[in-house]
Chains A and B, each alone.
Chain A
Amino acid sequence: KAGVTQTPRYLIKTRGQQVTLSCSPISGHRSVSWYQQTPGQGLQFLFEYFSETQRNKGNFPGRFSGRQFSNSRSEMNVSTLELGDSALYLCASSFSGGNTEAFFGQGTRLTVV
């Protein structure tokens, strides 16, 4: 069974641009959560999607958004990029969310210059 797949693995963008990251969950998993990992703040929750609906959102500005498609694949978008958005963006999939095992992808390393 294939794991969680995130694309692209690496991205370099300039300030003010926008970026879209993609996550394909494990087959059969319907919950996709996104996290930001930085050296200063560690791993922080961005949002969770289930059945194409955002169920929960972390404490990030509105520049961070996402969506989920009917096949459970998810994208997250960051608009008007800032230097501080440089991070490893991780997605995790689980069967139904809640108290079920969550498996992570390899992440997308975003560098904003």
Chain B
Amino acid sequence: GESVGLHLPTLSVQEGDNSIINCAYSNSASDYFIWYKQESGKGPQFIIDIRSNMDKRQGQRVTVLLNKTVKHLSLQIAATQPGDSAVYFCAENLNSGYSTLTFGKGTMLLVSP
């Protein structure tokens, strides 16, 4: 039968708004997490990472929050711009000895001017 594509959740915001993208990760033993941005036709672009011994990390216009109790990550983008429109993935590393990322399904962010 025909394969069904992933139905990505979509977040639509206005330019200048703050955006919050959420992600539930799968393994309580994961100790490293990365957020990626993927634009159409391109590979995932590294945004920010966080280790499990932290609950918050800030970058330029982005903040990642980690709640290990409920296995939840969020990415906050301040003053969202049209160029931020893309699919955002969270990824967890299950084994600190290897680079073996498990990706979430992704969230599409649409920013209107």
Smallest CB-CB A-B distances: 6 pairs? A39-B5, A99-B32, A40-B3, A97-B99, A104-B43, A43-B103
Q: Does A72 contact B (CB under 8 A)?
A: no
Contact partners of A6 in chain B: CB under 8 A = 43
Q: Does A106 contact B (CB under 8 A)?
A: yes
Contact partners of B42 in chain A: CB under 8 A = 106-107
Given that A42-B6, A99-B93, A102-B46 are known contacts, is A55 also in contact with B36, CB under 8 Å in the complex?
no
Residue from A33, A40, A50, A58 in contact with B6 in the complex, judged by beta carbons closer than 8 Å: A40
Closest CB in chain B relative to A28 CB, distance in Å: 15
Q: Does B101 contact A (CB under 8 A)?
A: yes
Asked whether B100 lies within 8 Å of A33 as measured between CB atoms, the reply is: yes
Closest CB in chain B relative to A52 CB, distance in Å: 15
Cβ proximity bits B75-97 to A, threshold 8 Å, 1 near / 0 not: 00000000000000101010111
Q: Does B65 contact A (CB under 8 A)?
A: no
Binding site for A on B (CB under 8 A): 3-6, 31-32, 34, 36, 42-46, 49, 51, 89, 91, 93, 95-106
Closest CB in chain A relative to B52 CB, distance in Å: 9
Asked whether B43 lies within 8 Å of A101 as measured between CB atoms, the reply is: no
Cβ proximity bits A64-107 to B, threshold 8 Å, 1 near / 0 not: 00000000000000000000000000101010011111111111
- Knowing that A56-B95, A104-B46 are A-B contacts, what are 7 other residue pairs whose CB atoms are under 8 Å apart, sorted by A's residue number? A92-B99, A94-B99, A99-B51, A101-B34, A104-B36, A106-B42, A107-B43
Alpha-carbon gap, A103 to B99, bound state (A): 11
Q: Give residues of chain A (34-60) contacting chain B, Cβ–Cβ below 8 Å.
A: 35, 38-45, 48, 50, 55-56, 58
